[in-house]
Amino acid sequence: MTAFWAEPDFDAHESVTLVHDRASGLTAIIAVHSTHLGPAAGGTRFWHYADPAGAMRDCLRLSRGMSYKNAMAGLPMGGGKAVILADSARTKTPAMLAAFGDAVEALGGRYVTAEDVGICEADMVAVSKRTAHVSGLPVEGDGSAGGDPGPFTAYGIYLGIKAAVAHQLGKDSVAGVHVALQGTGSVGGGVARLLARDGARLTLADINAERASALAAELGGVAVAADAIMATPCDVFSPNALGAILDDAGIAMLDCAIVAGGANNQLAQAQHGAALAARGILYAPDYVINAGGIISVATEYLARAQGRSGDVAEVNALVAQIPGRLAAIWAESASSGLTADAVADRMAQKLIGRG
Ligand code: NAD
């Protein structure tokens, strides 16, 4: 394995901690990319990697992504990420989670963890027995911040789509605007419901075809096959399922004016931001438009650290700032000639003191 600081994804990370607990068998990496704005926040991924170098790459890349995302969400939090290297049977024991909690605690609050792939709320509750530096715990009461971040993510995307429609199509409402949604799960389903309320025209697709059909029937939309959604002629294509869908073939297929959705890492490679722009398609950078969930999780954590419970109104007020951030990105993109994704990265770097 190459030294991690020679990895292309190493970006002057403040610290990278290798954790091994012989008694429980826990092996983990905790990367703190930046604490410039506050404690480094980012989820813990529990994954079986064929090669430990893959775990290091994921941790370095995802922790930098969290710095950018938290900064652009306007949160007083830096960026970090943890990866627990699972064995091929994906053995996860209470002792491993306790040892992981101890490792987070040993960082003294420089890193705040949460759920990610392979980790559930019950795992976070177990980790919280050993450290207070955890967010995404069960919601404490009606109207309190926390709980499922999906609805907050969906609300931010809905507001972002409205901003994109105003910017690109000059319309102050999404009534009659045709939105094609890929993925009708927690996020995509929530976005579709909010858009339907405003009279948008919806085409929906999911690899779970029944889920898309049921939602289309409920909302008065149309369901199409999952492999047909990217080529659907529409005003807005909203990806809310997989990452890396905006590659050469995917972009060539699009028949829309706007791409705005919640999936993480939509651009397959950096040059695909320019490929979208070359086709005249307005792009809402994924980590800016989908920040509603992290805003909810962070608000819950910050409020608890102050001995109070944050409330939903506080979260929604922060999520409501997403459209303004997107508008600033598109304005800067138009004046500088840089693509929207490059502008977002540049703004984020400046916010974390690396401009
Ligand atoms: P989810 O599992 O609830 O829903 C995903 C849906 O996409 C499922 O219904 C699945 O069947 C469908 N799907 C998978 N592959 C598909 C394909 N090829 N074509 C069409 N549909 C497909 O997940 P979610 O929480 O709604 O998250 C969706 C995306 O948003 C993910 O990329 C996730 O990383 C991202 N995201 C989610 C949140 C959140 O708060 N949940 C926050 C930020 C980003």
Joined together, the tokens standing for residue 49 give 């990697």
What is the pTM (predicted TM-score) of this model?
0.94
Which pLDDT tens digit goes with each residue over 77-96?
A: 999 999 999 999 999 999 99
Q: Which atom of ligand 1 is nearest to the CA of 294?
A: 42
Q: How far, in Å, is the centroid of ligand 1 from the Cα of 47?
A: 18
Could you identify the atom of ligand 1 that is nearest to the CA of residue 211? 9
Q: Taking a C-beta distance cutoff of 8 angstroms, is the pair 9, 57 a contact?
A: yes
Q: What percent of the chain has pLDDT over 90?
A: 87
pLDDT tens, position by position, 265-291 = 999 999 999 999 999 999 999 999 999
Walk me through the domains of the chain, giving residue ranges and CATH numbers: 4-61+78-128 (3.40.50.10860), 150-289+323-351 (3.40.50.720)
**Which range (66-70, 75-79, 128-132, 298-302) has the least confidence?**
298-302
Using pLDDT thresholds of 50, 70 and 90, give the confidence band for residue 2.
low
Beta strand 40-41 with 111-112: parallel, antiparallel or unpaired? parallel
Q: Do the bridges between strand 201-205 and strand 78-85 make them parallel or antiparallel, or are there none, so unpaired?
A: unpaired
Q: Residue range 319-323: average pLDDT?
A: 98
Pairing of strands 78-85, 26-34: antiparallel
- What per-residue string of b and e applies to 70-101 under the rule 16 or more CB within 10 Å gives b? bbbbbbebbbbbbbbbbeeeeebeeebbbbbb
Q: Whose CA is nearest to atom 1 of ligand 1?
A: 185
Ligand 1 pocket residue status of 239, Cβ below 6 Å: no
Token pair of 276, please? Answer: 């979208």
Question: Which amino acids are annotated catalytic?
Answer: 81
Of ligand 1's atoms, which has the minimum distance to the CA of residue 296?
40
Q: Is the pLDDT of residue 242 over 90?
A: no
